[in-house]
Copies of this chain bind each other. A is one copy, B any other.
């Protein structure tokens, strides 16, 4: 017999907390504000999570950080594959947008999440690197430092995402489709043989 009300309340609280953390950071967010924003009594917050840090531990735990499957959809065709990869990458950043924003703002949360974020970055880099290496073996692209090239690819998308995250549309005005289309076009011409 599972009690649903309890879970709903918990979700209301974590959701409210995430909103506030994005705006004000951990230290800048009070438990009273969290309760207000969640529409519950402050006491309820403590009943569910013990203390303030318990809320963010719960948030960090339930955050996915799951990699979308790229491997499965590889077609060994540069343009298709890289476009797909770029799309998945931005989508993935966006799925974790809250967590990224929060973790980069606060040292406490950063310390709890940063191992997992790092792992994710390196996993993603590895996938891309291996893709480049295989394409090289197949003779589709030039001899080049696949690892560095993977890092450059990631940097471009990470940079785009970070600009958008912090400055909205005021820094860059290319939407993500323009961005993907143009960057891939240039990138492909840059690494292709012909």
Given contacts A27-B28, A144-B182, contact A151 B166 (CB under 8 A): no
Q: List 18 A-B contacts (CB under 8 A).
A: A25-B27, A25-B107, A26-B28, A27-B28, A28-B107, A125-B172, A147-B173, A147-B174, A148-B174, A148-B178, A148-B182, A151-B174, A151-B179, A158-B162, A159-B161, A159-B162, A189-B190, A189-B191
CA distance A186 to B172 in the complex (A): 22
Given contacts A158-B162, A163-B155, A179-B148, contact A171 B107 (CB under 8 A): no
CA distance A145 to B72 in the complex (A): 33
CA distance A182 to B189 in the complex (A): 14
A9 within 8 Å of B by Cβ? Answer: no
What range describes how many residues of A lie at the interface? 35 or more
A131 within 8 Å of B by Cβ? Answer: no
Q: Give chain B residues whose Cβ lies under 8 Å from the Cβ of A174.
A: 147-148, 151-152
